[in-house]
Amino acid sequence: MSHEEQASSLVPFESQIAMLFTTLVLALAAPALVLALAVLAFGLYGSLYLTRPLRYAHRVTPAEMGLPGEAVTFPSRDGLPLAGWLISAENAKGTIVLGHGYGGGLDEHDFRYAAFLHRHGYRLLLFDFRGQGASGGSYRSMGAREQDDMLGAIEFLKTAGLADRLGAFGVSMGAVVAYIVAAQQPEVRAVAGDSAFASWQGIIGHGLIAERGAPPLLATVLAWLMTRLTGLRLGFRAAQNDPVRFIGRISPRPVLIIHGAEDRQVPAEHARQLYAAAAEPKKLWIVPGAGHTGRLAQVPEEYAARVVGFFDRWLT
């Protein structure tokens, strides 16, 4: 081989550097790509897990809790069939629509709220949100679509002539829905909520840290991703359904915010954020030593007195 042929077969120095750089980039990019795909997969799994339908095996009835109750059905604002119970009261002071938490539908806990409100002269409408209990639907949405369910419940009451002196009361996710709906419906003259979260991303991030042990930075990224993926899947922008964005619009109608100081699922800071965003008249009650939705069990007489007193003042 001639000197010229040997020279032409050599890879130029610049090309060797380029090849080395490309190999190095690929070596570094491969783990990053795997990590990105893993984060995306976990975000999608989390989104699907949060929104899966859930229905308790046994549906509690008012009769089991010593309450009168008529089974009712009505459509959500978007047409989904919903099932619930209308608990009548003689010479009712008013009507309260009650929203349950992020479980499998109405349970004994929800009927305990209904019991003391009924005992003090209120008519109640309780119902299963979509994807839960006896209602239709193939997913839950942490309040984003459930607001259509409560709006459908209010329309049912209006059609039945039972919407005068109307209040809303909710627990956990039901409180989130009650705040959002009250901001949109002037017929709701007073709203009380127990254990509501203030924002989607805030509560999902807390859950990832407290329950899954995720580092704070990773939890923030995953919470953002799960929030966005859920919105894309179900057709809404989750951040635009944060109750902290709505609660200030309830004024001049009153809002009562209840929370447990030792709530590990939804920290009391969420209640403080909601209270700061609300306008007068507003009231914040943080109960020392109480956990998530635990105020009624811990201080039942005071709890009933405060909630009934709130509705008595503003509905009667």
**What pLDDT is stored for residue 148 in this prediction?**
97
Positive or negative torsion for Cα 45, 48, 50, 52:
negative
Structure tokens at 142: 């942490």
* CA pair distance 251, 90, nearest whole angstrom: 30
Per-residue CA distances from 119 to 90, 110, 299, 304 (Å): 11, 14, 17, 10
Cis peptide bond prior to 81, omega within 30° of 0? no
Looking at the 3D structure of the chain, how many domains does it have? 2
Helices 108-119 and 300-315: crossing angle in degrees, nearest 10, is 60
Closest CA to 135 of 159, 119, 153, 108: 153
The answer to whether residue 220 is domain-embedded is: yes
* Whether 112 and 141 share a structural domain: yes
**What pLDDT is stored for residue 104 in this prediction?**
86
DSSP secondary structure code for residue 70 in this structure: E
The answer to whether residue 210 is domain-embedded is: yes
* Whether 142 and 84 share a structural domain: yes
Which residue spans within 23-117 are E strands per DSSP? 70-75, 81-87, 94-99
The answer to whether residue 166 is domain-embedded is: yes
| 3-class secondary structure, 176 | helix
CATH number at residue 291: 3.40.50.1820
* CA pair distance 232, 261, nearest whole angstrom: 34
The answer to whether residue 3 is domain-embedded is: no
* CA pair distance 103, 115, nearest whole angstrom: 20
Per-residue CA distances from 189 to 132, 268, 316 (Å): 27, 25, 10
Side-chain-side CA neighbours of residue 208 (13 Å): 27
* Whether 193 and 205 share a structural domain: no
The answer to whether residue 1 is domain-embedded is: no
The answer to whether residue 297 is domain-embedded is: yes
* Whether 31 and 119 share a structural domain: no
**What pLDDT is stored for residue 175 in this prediction?**
98
* Whether 206 and 115 share a structural domain: no
* CA pair distance 105, 134, nearest whole angstrom: 8
* Whether 261 and 188 share a structural domain: yes
Among 209, 236, 263, the domain-final residue is 236
* Cβ atoms of residues 60 and 111 within 8 Å: yes
* Whether 97 and 182 share a structural domain: yes
Its domain, for residue 151, covers 58-198+242-315
**What pLDDT is stored for residue 57 in this prediction?**
85
- Tell me the DSSP string of 220-233: HHHHHHHHHHHHHH
Among 236, 259, 290, the domain-final residue is 236
Spell out a b/e string for 179-202, using b for 16 or more CB atoms within 10 Å of the CB, else e: bbbbbebebbbbbbbbbbbbbbbb
* Whether 180 and 278 share a structural domain: yes
**What pLDDT is stored for residue 67 in this prediction?**
96
* Whether 64 and 172 share a structural domain: yes
* Whether 47 and 95 share a structural domain: no
pLDDT in tens, the chain (316 residues): 554 544 445 556 566 566 666 665 556 666 777 777 887 888 888 899 889 999 998 889 999 999 999 999 999 999 999 999 999 999 999 999 999 999 889 999 999 999 999 999 999 999 999 999 999 999 999 999 999 999 999 999 999 999 999 999 999 999 999 999 999 999 999 999 999 999 998 998 888 877 777 888 888 888 999 999 999 999 988 878 999 999 999 999 999 999 999 999 999 999 999 999 999 999 999 999 999 998 788 899 999 999 999 999 999 9
The answer to whether residue 6 is domain-embedded is: no
Among 185, 210, 236, the domain-final residue is 236
The answer to whether residue 143 is domain-embedded is: yes
Using CB atoms within 10 Å of the CB of residue 313, give its burial: 0 to 12 exposed, 13 to 18 middle, 19+ buried: exposed
Cα Rg for the chain, rounded, in angstroms? 26
* Whether 251 and 102 share a structural domain: yes
Helices 13-51 and 200-212: crossing angle in degrees, nearest 10, is 100
* Whether 98 and 27 share a structural domain: no
